[in-house]
Amino acid sequence: MNKLNIDFEKVDGLVPAIIQDADTNKVLMLGYMNQEAIDITLETKKVTFFSRTKNRLWTKGETSGNFLHVASLTVDCDNDTILIKAKPVGPVCHTGDDTCFAEENKSKTFFIDELRAIIKDRKNNPTDKSYTASLFAKGINKVAQKVGEEAVEIVIEAKDDNKELFMGEAADLLYHYLVLLEAKGYELDEVMEVLIDRHQKK
Ligand SMILES: [Zn+2]
């Protein structure tokens, strides 16, 4: 049964499958699938191609362990290309690169989570040298005041045309905002929940 309405005759039995990271949206690789490869992929939730060079079914990661766990599988408007959103276990390319296009599979906004972890650590394990720890030591009023100051500074830079200075203030504000959330004991995810909730109500 061809559940996906793919016209395999039109494509000589093989459809290209674009593999995209379900979290970062980076294109990881491209492979080809026949009906059996699609069936196995859907059944095992591990991306399985038909390898034209090996001339057999090939589960990505079968030797390296770097499987691609399927999050979703869709077919394009012409029913002849597959898009699979997946979560990769490790580097996708045999060269060791994150993707087959030699890209780093990371959006820089992911650094926010890393930064939050560092801020949390400075709160829980303060050191004398840490500016972040010194903010926590001064208490909530001081932390909140810093956010206010940085907000004023970004307003001032917004009126000017100096990208470097504006970026510096934008970074200062974001950092102090994260420190304030941590000082209050709240998670950024909770702020996201409020935003997601508002968005859904529209
Ligand atoms: Zn590759």
Under 8 Å CB-to-CB from 87, ≥6 apart: which residues? 21, 22, 23, 68, 69, 71
Specify the domain boundaries for CATH 1.10.287.1080 within the chain: 110-201
Return the CATH class of domain 8-88: alpha beta
Stretch 89-117: mean pLDDT: 91
Q: How far does residue 29's CA lie from ligand 1's centre (Å)?
A: 7
Q: If you write DSSP's letter for every residue of the chain in order, what string do you get? A: --TT---TTTTTT-EEEEEEETTT--EEEEEEE-HHHHHHHHHHSB-EEEETTTTEEEETTTTTS--EEEEEEEE-TTSS-EEEEEEESS--STTS-SSTT------GGGHHHHHHHHHHHHHHS--TT-HHHHHHHH-HHHHHHHHHHHHHHHHHHHHS--HHHHHHHHHHHHHHHHHHHHHHT--HHHHHHHHHHHHHH-
Q: How far is the CA of 83 from the centre of ligand 1 (A)?
A: 17
Q: What percent of the chain has pLDDT over 90?
A: 85
**Ligand 1: distance of its center to the CA of 96 in Å?**
8
Mean pLDDT, range 142-166, rounded to an integer = 97
Given a contact cutoff of 8 angstroms between Cβ atoms, the answer to whether 97 and 74 are in contact is no
Calculate what percentage of the chain has a pLDDT beyond 70.
98
The structural architecture, per CATH, of the domain 110-201 is Orthogonal Bundle (1.10)
pLDDT of residue 3: 61
| Average pLDDT of every residue of the chain | 94
Domain with CATH 3.10.20.810 in the chain: 8-88
Query: In which band, very low, low, confident or very high, does the pLDDT at 2 lie, cut at 50, 70 and 90?
Result: very low
> What pTM was computed for the model?
0.61
Quote the ligand 1 centre to 18 CA distance (angstroms).
Answer: 13
Of 10, 6, 9, 28, the closest CA to residue 18 belongs to 28
Q: Are strands 48-51 and 56-59 parallel, antiparallel or unpaired?
A: antiparallel
> What does each C-alpha distance from 154 to 59, 112, 131 come to in angstroms?
51, 19, 20
pLDDT at residue 45 tops 60: yes
User: 7 CA distance to ligand 1 centroid (A)?
Assistant: 27
User: What pLDDT sits at residue 1?
Assistant: 39
Instruction: Give the residue-averaged pLDDT of 61-83.
Output: 94
Q: What is the pLDDT of residue 192?
A: 93
pLDDT band of residue 41 (cuts 50, 70, 90) is very high
The stretch 80-97 carries a mean pLDDT of 95
Say what the pLDDT of residue 11 is: 86
Question: How far, in Å, is the centroid of ligand 1 from the Cα of 193?
Answer: 37
CB contact at 8 A, 145 and 171: no
Q: 74 pLDDT exceeds 80?
A: yes
pLDDT at 140 over 50: yes
27 CA to centre of ligand 1 in angstroms = 11
CA of 9 to the centre of ligand 1 (A): 28
